[in-house]
Amino acid sequence: MASVSAVIATYNRAPELRTALSRLLAQTHAVAEILVVDDGSTDGTDTMVRTEFPSVRYVRLPHNAGLIYARNFGFVNTTGDYVLSVDDDSWFEAPDGLARAVAFLESHADAAVVACNIETRDGLVYFPRAAAPFDVPWYVGCGHLLRRSAVASVGLYMPELYRQGEEKDRCLRLMGAGFRVVALPDVMVYHDKSEKGRKPGLERFYNHRNDLIREVARCPAGLLPWRFARAWIGNSWKNLRHGPRLTDLKVLAALPEIMRIGMKHRAPVGVEAYRRWQHLAATAAPGRVAEEKTSVVVLGPLPNPPPPSALSERQGRSPDAISACKHAREAREGTPPLVP
């Protein structure tokens, strides 16, 4: 049986985390390990986890490093074949939700990620419940299951993103490597969406900033000028409609940083993969597919990516050598440390 590690990043949401952990431990597919990464909570989260959930590994970061760093930390400090990510205020609605997600990945080697169907407490449902599994451009951070080997082949989240938009960048890289991101509409995750720590203005800024960083880092050269402008205009229009309107000025001031980070990580995907991702973003993005829609076009599978051994033989290096080089490079670029 494939092993599953669960990673939950948290910050000052002890009551919500208690519910999330209780629901996770009640899943019919046993989780091999649960790691809670505390990003500097001051509300007694540490005492609650250690006293009420002794089987859960708890690590408190020395300072608030951001959600993306916490998720990277959780990934490199777990060992399961699959890595489940839920928020500290989200959980599977059915006790066999995790089991069904694992079964799908076990039977679809070309799928790197299962995107669960998210239901929020205000009634929003991201995908049509009755739809068959279909390809999507990205998953939502509060409910997804990752194939560790696929993620390891493309790397961790960009730590400089800090928050917002990391899923889009990772999924674009996965698609560029020949993998699929697949929605399972019947695997429901409820997102209680706590208001603690949410700052709409800050979220809007990071959405805008990180979309631009992603374009610089991943867009093919021939499409980059247009796509960069399109990402700027699209986000500016959202800022005008929803505010705060000063966001554009803040993003403009951050432009040198945006270019520096984007160029540091620049590794554009192929044109075909990029256009496929664009198509899915326009037609199948989470939250964009209406609940009342009864049919969804299921895109055919992409060719299976070559195994790491084939890639290493082609390049004249062993898998161990490639892994060692990758670990050394990530250590220089701020990869979270391993902990016992």
pLDDT digits (tens, 9 = 90+) for 175-212: 999 999 999 999 999 999 766 655 666 888 999 999 99
Rounded mean pLDDT of 35-51?
94
Q: How many CB atoms lie within 10 A of CB 15?
A: 15
Q: How many CA atoms lie within 13 A of 35 on its CB side?
A: 25
Q: Cα(163)–Cα(177) distance, rounded to whole angstroms?
A: 24
Q: Is 17 helix (H, G, I), strand (E, B) or coil?
A: helix
Give the pLDDT of residue 332.
35
Give the pLDDT of residue 244.
61
Distant-in-sequence, close-in-space partners of 206: CB < 8 Å, separation ≥ 6: 161, 162, 163, 164, 165
Q: Is 31 helix (H, G, I), strand (E, B) or coil?
A: coil
pLDDT band at 315 (very low <50, low <70, confident <90, very high): very low
Kindly state the percentage of the chain with pLDDT values over 70: 81
DSSP bridge pairs for 111: 180
pLDDT digits (tens, 9 = 90+) for 90-125: 999 999 999 999 999 999 999 999 999 999 988 899
If you average pLDDT over every residue of the chain, what do you get?
85
Q: How many CA atoms lie within 13 A of 288 on its CB side?
A: 15
Give the pLDDT of residue 299.
44
The pTM of the whole model exceeds 0.75 = yes
Task: Give, for 117, the enclosing helix (H) or strand (E).
Answer: strand 111-120
Give the pLDDT of residue 191.
95
Q: Supply 147's token pair.
A: 């194939």
Q: What is the 3-state secondary structure (H, E, C) of 56-94?
A: CEEEECCCCCCHHHHHHHHHHCCCCCEEEEECCCEEECC
User: Does position 231 have pLDDT exceeding 60, yes or no?
Assistant: yes
pLDDT digits (tens, 9 = 90+) for 274-283: 999 999 999 9
Give the pLDDT of residue 270.
97
- Which of 118, 243, 139 has its CA nearest to residue 193? 118
Q: Supply 273's token pair.
A: 């993969």
174 burial class (0-12, 13-18, 19+ CB within 10 angstroms)? buried
Cα of first residue to Cα of last residue in the chain, in angstroms, is 25
* Length of the chain, in residues: 340
Distant-in-sequence, close-in-space partners of 92: CB < 8 Å, separation ≥ 6: 23, 24, 27, 86, 98, 116, 143, 187, 188, 189, 190
Q: How many CB atoms lie within 10 A of CB 251?
A: 23
Q: Cα(209)–Cα(204) distance, rounded to whole angstroms?
A: 9
Q: Cα(245)–Cα(238) distance, rounded to whole angstroms?
A: 9
Q: Tell me the C-alpha to C-alpha distance, in Å, between residue 294 and each of 7, 129, 185, 289.
A: 33, 9, 12, 10
- Residue 271 in contact with residue 220, Cβ under 8 Å? yes
- DSSP letter at 306? P
Give the pLDDT of residue 333.
45
Distant-in-sequence, close-in-space partners of 96: CB < 8 Å, separation ≥ 6: 27, 28, 29
Given 3-state DSSP classes, what are the helix, strand and coil percentages for the chain, each rounded to the nearest 5?
45, 15, 40
